């Protein structure tokens, strides 16, 4: 038995910006992203390789979270296309209409919901599969028990693959991001700390505070070590703040049991009503697994 945890915000953006014709509901309102995410989730539910039995999808709604109170430039709803922002609630309703449990985040982010779900249920299932290419979720990977899946590339990353690719373990991902920065989340990292250099240091020391202040004591010697060490001493507080921003919260009060996440099939009446409301009659024949 597997548990699939889906990054709904990523799926929604992917559907909105996909190079395909748009769609408007009967009232003329843009519904491209909403219809697109339903098509994507139906494809997942029908994917024999994924063999979905239990599933939940998490959304940022709104984008702003508690992290904006810690660091003002952190990502927010500013800059989200209004035609996409207007579909956040509709997308959640649409996914519910196909029988998938929705975790709508308010104070927290979708990533926190996914991290919490992985922690809560990893010992109750054969495998938790986190469906997103977002590098932040790498910190949740655990052996073959919790893996990350990039559906577009059809790539599955377990802990051994993560270590080979990154040069350090999943538990150090937030430290890595703190030093290199994360433009998608809006924090800059420290000057001079590129991916290769940071991978060397984090691979050797695992945590920022374990990196010696004196570069002469370093186990590894990346290029520009003297300047990197000086930068880390000068900006250590910044680095620790960025790590806090990058560290996912895995204690979100989801109030769900594993039984609540079981997929019983698409509820026919509800789904067909949604198709009528959105003007997508063609989707009525797509589901292959119906409730009852």
Q: What is the pLDDT of residues 216-237, one digit of tens each?
A: 999 999 999 999 999 999 999 9
Q: 205 and 125: one domain? A: no
pLDDT tens readout for residues 103-113:
999 899 999 99
> Is the pLDDT reported for residue 271 higher than 80?
yes
Q: What angle do CA 113, 114, 118 make, to 5 degrees?
A: 120
> Is the pLDDT reported for residue 169 higher than 90?
yes
Burial 188-225 (b: 16+ CB within 10 A, else e): ebbebbeeebbbbbbbebeebeebeeebeebeeebeeb
Q: What is the pLDDT of residue 12?
A: 97
Q: What is the pLDDT of residue 79?
A: 83
Per-residue confidence at 292, pLDDT binned at 50, 70, 90? confident
**How high is the mean pLDDT of the chain?**
96
Percent of the chain scored above 90 by pLDDT? 96
> Is the pLDDT reported for residue 102 higher than 80?
yes
Which among 22, 17, 15 has a CA at the least distance from the CA of 41? 15
Per-residue confidence at 11, pLDDT binned at 50, 70, 90? very high
Q: How far is CA 167 from CA 130, 226, 257, in A?
A: 21, 22, 35
> Is the pLDDT reported for residue 256 higher than 90?
no
Per-residue confidence at 163, pLDDT binned at 50, 70, 90? very high
Q: 26 and 112: one domain? A: yes
This prediction has a pTM of: 0.95
Once rounded to an integer, what is the mean pLDDT over residues 246-270? 95
> Is the pLDDT reported for residue 239 higher than 80?
yes
Once rounded to an integer, what is the mean pLDDT over residues 81-102? 96
Once rounded to an integer, what is the mean pLDDT over residues 128-140? 97
| CATH number, domain containing residue 137 | 3.40.50.1010
Q: 55 and 121: one domain? A: yes
Q: What is the pLDDT of residue 93?
A: 97
Q: 192 and 54: one domain? A: no
Once rounded to an integer, what is the mean pLDDT over residues 168-186? 97
Q: 256 and 234: one domain? A: no
| Count of domains for the chain | 2
In a domain, 292, yes or no: no
Q: 25 and 52: one domain? A: yes
Per-residue confidence at 78, pLDDT binned at 50, 70, 90? confident
Q: 134 and 68: one domain? A: yes
Q: Can the peptide bond before residue 149 be classed as cis, meaning omega within 30 degrees of 0?
A: no
Per-residue confidence at 148, pLDDT binned at 50, 70, 90? very high
Once rounded to an integer, what is the mean pLDDT over residues 22-35? 94
Percent of the chain scored above 70 by pLDDT? 100
Q: What is the pLDDT of residue 197?
A: 95
Domain that holds residue 189: 170-246
CA dihedral 19, 105, 42, 35 (to 10 degrees): -40
């Amino acid at each position: 038995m597997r548990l699939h945890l889906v990054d709904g915000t990523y799926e929604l953006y992917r559907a909105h910006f996909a190079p395909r014709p748009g769609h408007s509901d009967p009232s003329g309102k843009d519904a491209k992203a909403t219809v697109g995410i339903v098509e994507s989730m139906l494809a997942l539910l029908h994917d024999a390789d994924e063999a979905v039995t239990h599933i939940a999808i998490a959304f940022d709604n709104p984008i702003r979270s508690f992290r904006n109170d810690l660091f003002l430039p952190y990502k927010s709803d500013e800059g989200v296309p209004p035609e996409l922002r207007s579909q956040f609630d509709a997308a959640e309703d649409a996914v519910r209409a196909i029988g998938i449990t929705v975790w709508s985040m308010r104070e927290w982010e979708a990533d926190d919901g996914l991290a919490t779900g992985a922690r809560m249920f990893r010992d109750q299932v054969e495998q938790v599969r986190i469906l997103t290419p977002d590098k932040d979720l790498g910190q949740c990977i655990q052996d073959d028990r919790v893996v990350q899946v990039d559906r577009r590339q059809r790539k599955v990353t377990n802990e051994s693959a993560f270590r080979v690719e990154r040069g350090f373990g999943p538990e150090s991902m937030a430290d890595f991001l703190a030093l290199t920065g994360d433009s998608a989340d809006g924090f800059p990292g420290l000057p001079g700390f590129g991916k290769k250099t940071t991978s060397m240091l984090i691979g050797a020391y695992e945590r920022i505070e374990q990196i010696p202040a004196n570069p002469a004591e370093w186990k590894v010697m990346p290029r520009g070590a003297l300047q990197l060490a000086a930068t880390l001493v000068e900006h250590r507080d910044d680095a620790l703040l960025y790590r806090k921003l990058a560290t996912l919260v895995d204690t979100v009060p989801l109030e769900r049991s594993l039984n609540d996440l079981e997929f019983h099939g698409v509820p026919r009446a509800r789904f067909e009503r949604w198709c009528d409301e959105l003007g997508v009659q063609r989707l009525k024949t797509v589901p292959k697994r119906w409730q009852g």
